[in-house]
Amino acid sequence: MSIKKPTISDVAKHANVSKSTVSQFLNRRFDYMREETRERIEKAVRELNYQPNSVARSLKLKSTATIGVIVANILHSFSTQVIRAIEDTLNDNGFSTIICNADDNPAKEQKYIETLLARQVDGLIVFPTSANIELYKSLIDIDFPIVFLDRYVSGLSVDTVMLDNEQALQLAVEHLLINGYHDIAVMTTSLEPHVIPRIERVSGYKQALERFSQPIREEYIKSMEPEYLQKGAAELFELEHPPDAVITGNDLALMEFLKYASQNGVKIGSEVGLVTIDEVAFAELNNPSLTTIAQPSFEMGKKAASLLLERFDGKKSAESNMYRFTPSLIVRKSAEKASVSS
């Protein structure tokens, strides 16, 4: 049985001081600390055999008015829209931003967090992977301001801003069924890194099929890295009973399906219905125009930044919260047989 390592909270309780006072002690900020307080903390550290981590040592009391933003993949249109909203909101409140692209790579994510802390940013907004849980726990333990966006990490108490991903897929499935499509497939980038939105969207797809008494065909679910998605599309349409509609789970999956359709003469709308998650800049210009399930990207980015700012204003409640945003259906031509066939 492993022995639980003492935390900064344990030291604070043992010395009868606040966590922020212990943090000041660990970072050798003694200007306004009484000698008796220093001695009590030093004794508590020694008696508990507390080993301060590198995260705690990297922080300081003085603000740099800078926030670090770590996105999972900056190529997503959703990411760029959210970043713009975060940057605008923080700039209006006197904060600068440093943007980092982690590529859904836990090692890059960890490196960026450590780099940003070394640069003494005042807070973090992160599209997290699920692999750096201990690092995030150390941030939470020292009450460092952090907000998760687009994803959550199980077991961590952090304010989180997300789309209602299951509802997004239910909207897509319902719209296709209403427009006469019945054999609906879903294509998304890989589920393997345990990316929460992708998992929730596939779950929403299955729930919607069950709700409308439609069969769930596992061969209709394609999740893979972007470079293999065209092969996945080919596999769908080589089936003995191919789908008559496709939902793409994000803009990267959409691009690969559009390439496949163009190269293989797949007539979107008249032959194969298409709904995509995320509003893309070319949705109206595409032929046919694309029916999308839009995320309120700017509202979500603004909310994430506002939650972080509340921490600096002392308005943060003791408990963390999950803020789910509602998707919206934008109807165009790619999922309407009658409109396209004329």
102-131 pLDDT tens trace: 988 999 999 999 999 988 899 999 999 888
Place of tokens 């599209």: 127
pLDDT recorded at residue 70:
97
- In this structure, how many other beta carbons lie within 10 angstroms of the beta carbon of residue 93? 15
| Position 221 pLDDT exceeds 60 | yes
Alpha helices in the chain (DSSP H): 8-15, 19-26, 35-48, 54-58, 77-92, 106-118, 133-141, 165-178, 196-211, 229-237, 251-264, 297-313, 337-341
Q: pLDDT (tens digit, 9 = 90+) per residue, 174-215? A: 999 999 999 999 999 987 767 889 999 999 999 999 999 999
Does the structure show a pLDDT above 90 at 283? Answer: yes
C-beta atoms surrounding 51 within 10 Å: 8
Query: What does the pLDDT look like over 308-329, one tens digit per residue?
Result: 998 877 665 667 899 999 999 9
Q: CA 11, 2, 195: angle at the middle one, nearest 5?
A: 90
Strand order in the sheet with 245-248: 221-224, 184-189, 245-248, 273-277, 291-294, 328-330
- Got the DSSP string for 63-89? ---EEEEEES-TTSHHHHHHHHHHHHH
Q: What percent of the chain has pLDDT over 90?
A: 67
pLDDT value for 320: 85
Sign of CA dihedral 280, 282, 284, 290: negative
- For residues 128 and 130, what is the distance between their CA atoms, to the nearest angstrom? 6
Q: Please, what's the largest Cα pairwise distance for the chain?
A: 85
Q: Please give the pLDDT value at position 32.
A: 65
For the full predicted model, state whether its pTM sits above 0.85: no
The domains located in the chain, with CATH, are 8-52 (no CATH), 64-163+297-325 (3.40.50.2300), 165-295 (3.40.50.2300)
How far, in Å, CA of 50 to CA of 162, rounded? 36
CB distance 128 to 109 below 8 Å: yes
Residue 280, pLDDT score: 93
